[in-house]
Structure 1
Amino acid sequence: MTVPVPLGGQPQVVSLGLGVHGQRSHRDRFLLPDLWAFHLYRYRAALVLDGVEHALLPGSVSLVPPGTVTVYRYRGVSEHLYVHLRLSGEPVGLPPVAHAGASVPLLTDLLTTAVTTFPLAPAAATASVWAALWQVAGLVRPSVEDPARARIAPVLAAVESSLTGPLPVGELAALAGVSPAHLTRLFRAATGRTVVGYVRHRRGVRAEHLLRRTTLPVATIARSVGVPDLQAFNKLCHDVLGASPRAVRAGDVATVTG
């Protein structure tokens, strides 16, 4: 599902900042009658837009049209960067919720800059917000070279930016708007692996890079790829890389890619 987001004209920023929620209640309901809501999330939650539920992960973004009933179900104290604004110009079809993947640092920088500069330089802040919006638009352009991967692009992006934490198949499936079983079928078609197998492979590839290219302790690397238990991390390296972490660091095995 996509919504027409008017990005052709410079936006009018009405309010922006860092929102902190989930402190007193794990549920909030919002309605902005005449403003768009642009959010970059730092937490896991459920977002319900006009009765349709979307899964949020750290790095998710949402663009909610004016007049949309919005309900959040938090898991605890939750922070997100937000912009309430008016949009105009030629529309671009975008999903209401997507994942920023590798663009998370850039989007965070653009929106943080907008928040801090808005009181003294609103024009500069508006330019940062506009750049962030077009960055989001670039995230969801379909791939004509690999349409199978294009269908799961939001999930692939979420995996890459969230390898340090848990990645339940149910949450990833909700992010794509399909059932876990259907997501597994899509993954097999696009990657030749199950969702769990793909996540495990990507953890191994990330671990290999850190073992070979950095001097970080093995325990730190294990935590950074979401496998803090050293015995489990050792098994991951053997399964994906074909050797122990020490052997991988020593360069005793061939490089794994993909």
Structure 2
Amino acid sequence: MVFEVCLDRRPAIAQTGLSIHGYRRREEFMLHGLWGLHVYLYGGELRLRNEVFPFTEGSVSLTPPDTALEWSFPEHAPHYYVHFQLEDRDPPDDSGDSPEPGGESNCVQIPIVTRYDRDFTTLVEEMETLSRSHTLAPRRAEVLLWDVLWRLADQERERWKRESGETRRGEREPGIPAVVQIVTSVIENELAGKLTVRSLAGRVGVSHNHLTNLFRRVYGTTVVEYIRRRRCRRAFHLLTRTSLSITSIAHDVGVPDLQHFNKMIRRELGTAPSDLRR
């Protein structure tokens, strides 16, 4: 399902921030007169208009105004959100963001749920900046949101071209076996969950020993070490670039036991998680 949104004018933000759900596994909302943009750091389901839209960590959703929405959350569910207004057409003013001359409306299509194809880490940083700027520099926050919406529209346009054959089909990264590429993608998408070498190997139809040997050949490390490093890299980003609590970050990288999380960070990064916040 896609929605047509008109981006002639800068969106007006009503509310934005980082929200943590999961205390209740299902919640219902309705945004009166406001669109909703959500950037997910977990996997769950969104239901509207009698349809269910699953999403994973790294997904973005756009929901329309005055529509009943229902989310299904895991136990720990942090996401960034922006509630905003969009005007179809506004009369010209002196703000510098009037519709382009000639009467053409910049109406684009954006899916209700989409996987963000570009650098998700950068998007998370932008959402942090947007949240901080909303009060002190609202114009900056609105311009940043405007750019994010345009990027989502561009992404959908590019995806449509690929699927319709207008551009060359994407190819796997040369030199890396398909099995390894699939497993690393699973690891990135499910980093917050329980990952074992045996379960990952089973999903691609190879033995756990063969998968470990492939990782040694490609990355010079075992699957277990690769997962730990990816978790530490994500934890470092969240600790240094976001306002999430250490407990929330531990859950988000799949190590909810704080003692284990502290040991992992000390081992890989040489310092305690709390020290990275200073």
CA–CA distance in structure 2, aligned partners of residues 208 and 147 of structure 1:
38
> Rg larger in 1 or in 2?
2
Q: 1:211 aligns with which of 219, 224, 248?
A: 219
Identify the residue that residue 63 of structure 2 maps to in structure 1.
64
Identify the residue that residue 164 of structure 2 maps to in structure 1.
147
Residue segments in structure 1 that go unaligned for 5+ positions in a row: 168-195, 227-258
Residue 225 (structure 1) shift: 7.8
| 1:46–1:72 CA contact under 8 A, matched in 2 | yes
Identify the residue that residue 16 of structure 2 maps to in structure 1.
16
CA–CA distance in structure 2, aligned partners of residues 7 and 160 of structure 1:
36
1:71-92 C-alpha deviation (Å, 9 max, x unpaired): 0011212110000001134321
Residues 141-220 of structure 1 mapped to structure 2, 5 A cutoff: 141=157, 142=159, 144=161, 147=164, 162-164=186-188, 166=190, 197=204, 207=215, 211=219, 219-220=224-225
TM-score where L is the length of structure 2: 0.57
| Change over 3 Å in CA distance of 1:21–1:134 after alignment to 2 | same
Which shifted more, 123-132 or 134-143? Answer: 134-143
Identify the residue that residue 122 of structure 2 maps to in structure 1.
106
| 2:42–2:57 CA contact under 8 A, matched in 1 | yes
Structure 2 SS opposite 1:15: strand
| 2:2–2:112 CA contact under 8 A, matched in 1 | yes
* Paired amino acid for 1:100: Y
Residues 79-98 of structure 1 mapped to structure 2, 5 A cutoff: 79-89=78-88, 90-98=106-114
| Change over 3 Å in CA distance of 1:209–1:119 after alignment to 2 | farther
Residue 55 (structure 1) shift: 0.4
Residue segments in structure 2 that go unaligned for 5+ positions in a row: 89-105, 171-181, 192-202, 232-278
CA–CA distance in structure 2, aligned partners of residues 115 and 61 of structure 1:
16
CA–CA distance in structure 2, aligned partners of residues 39 and 124 of structure 1:
19
CA–CA distance in structure 2, aligned partners of residues 217 and 73 of structure 1:
35
CA–CA distance in structure 2, aligned partners of residues 210 and 96 of structure 1:
37
Identify the residue that residue 144 of structure 2 maps to in structure 1.
128
Identify the residue that residue 138 of structure 1 maps to in structure 2.
154
Structure 1 SS opposite 2:188: coil
Structure 2 SS opposite 1:118: helix
Structure 2 SS opposite 1:163: helix
Identify the residue that residue 54 of structure 2 maps to in structure 1.
55
Residue 56 (structure 1) shift: 1.3
What's the % identity of the aligned pairs?
A: 27
* Paired amino acid for 1:70: L
| 2:34–2:84 CA contact under 8 A, matched in 1 | yes
Identify the residue that residue 116 of structure 1 maps to in structure 2.
132
CA–CA distance in structure 1, aligned partners of residues 183 and 85 of structure 2:
32
Residue 149 (structure 1) shift: 11
CA–CA distance in structure 2, aligned partners of residues 48 and 7 of structure 1:
25
Stretches (4+) displaced over 6 A: none
| 1:102–1:161 CA contact under 8 A, matched in 2 | no
| Change over 3 Å in CA distance of 1:45–1:114 after alignment to 2 | same
Residue 165 (structure 1) shift: 5.1
1:155-184 C-alpha deviation (Å, 9 max, x unpaired): xxx9976533549xxxxxxxxxxxxxxxxx
* Paired amino acid for 1:27: R
Structure 1 SS opposite 2:131: helix
Identify the residue that residue 29 of structure 2 maps to in structure 1.
30
Identify the residue that residue 96 of structure 2 maps to in structure 1.
none
| 1:111–1:132 CA contact under 8 A, matched in 2 | no
Which shifted more, 119-128 or 135-144? Answer: 135-144
CA–CA distance in structure 2, aligned partners of residues 84 and 119 of structure 1:
14
CA–CA distance in structure 1, aligned partners of residues 11 and 150 of structure 2:
11
